[in-house]
Amino acid sequence: MNISVNAETYPNERPKWLLVTDSGVTITLSTPSEMNGVKSDKIVMRSPTVREVRACQQAHPNDELAVDAMLFASLASIGENDLMGLTLKDYERVKSGYFRMVEEDDV
């Protein structure tokens, strides 16, 4: 199943669970999750470099989910297993937060 979420999902308003800054995003999770051995209800992701995106694409050609998991985990400084342990709802929040962060807007 290919679920695609991007900033167009929320065209005119920013969700309450998302804080976007020039340097990254803070995502409030619907369900606290253990990351790096600590239970948290927030994930902070920094903005990626082109080099990081390319490295993830090269590491996982033809596997978009693996590219996203590697990239999102790296940007949030958490393990991929921790990211994969999120509820689907929260993983979709992470994806949406990423796309909001990298799209050009009035931040």
Domain that holds residue 31: 7-102
Rounded to two decimals, the pTM is 0.83
Q: Can you tell me the distance from the alpha carbon of 31 to that of 51, in angstroms, rounded to the nearest whole number?
A: 32
Does residue 34 carry a pLDDT above 70?
A: yes
Residue 1 placed within a domain: no
Per DSSP, the residues of 18-52 read: EEE-SSEEEEEEEEEEEETTEEEEEEEEEPPPHHH
Residue among 84, 81, 4 at smallest CA distance from 36: 81
Does residue 67 carry a pLDDT above 60?
A: yes
Percent of the chain's residues with pLDDT above 90: 79
Does residue 6 carry a pLDDT above 60?
A: no
Residue 107 placed within a domain: no
Q: What's the pLDDT at 105?
A: 66
Residue 80 placed within a domain: yes
Residue 69 placed within a domain: yes
Residue 2 placed within a domain: no
Virtual torsion, Cα 46, 17, 88, 104, nearest 10 deg: -50
Number of domains, the chain: 1
Residue 50 placed within a domain: yes
Residue 58 placed within a domain: yes
The mean per-residue pLDDT over the stretch 50-54 comes to 96
